[in-house]
Amino acid sequence: MFEVTYFWAPWCQPCKTFSPLLTEVTSVPGYGLYIHFTKHNADEVDPEILSRYDIRSLPTVVIEKNGEEVTRFSGAKTRSGLIEIFDRLIDNREENEQPC
């Protein structure tokens, strides 16, 4: 399971268009098996969390697996760009996992 943590703020112009898009893409049927999505308003979240994730710009998405960062990106992405990122993560997960 991948933890997708999204940092945004209401005053952030790119966040206003990117937030609904990210929510839509992470809700795609099938992704729920692999992706857990969390959204944090950078103005309201504990500053310790911002420091822990080293958030320097908004919007920022941090993707972790088993508590370790796999990838991150800052700035808005297109719908197709997000799908490409998530599909690549899921495909790599399936290639690297061995059946029990």
Q: What is the pLDDT of residue 93?
A: 67
Question: Rounded to two decimals, what is the model's pTM?
Answer: 0.86
Residue 95 pLDDT exceeds 60: no
Which pair of structure tokens corresponds to residue 74? 């800052």
Q: Give CA angle at 68 (30, 52), nearest 5°.
A: 115
Q: Considering the domain 2-96, what is its CATH architecture? A: 3-Layer(aba) Sandwich (3.40)
> Is there a catalytic annotation at residue 100?
no
Q: What is the pLDDT of residue 29?
A: 85
Domain boundaries defined on the chain = 2-96
Tens-digit pLDDT profile for residues 1-29 = 899 999 999 999 999 999 999 999 988 88
> Is there a catalytic annotation at residue 12?
yes
The residue from 2, 5, 12, 42 that is catalytic is: 12
Q: What is the pLDDT of residue 62?
A: 97
Q: What is the pLDDT of residue 97?
A: 47
The residue from 5, 8, 15, 42 that is catalytic is: 15
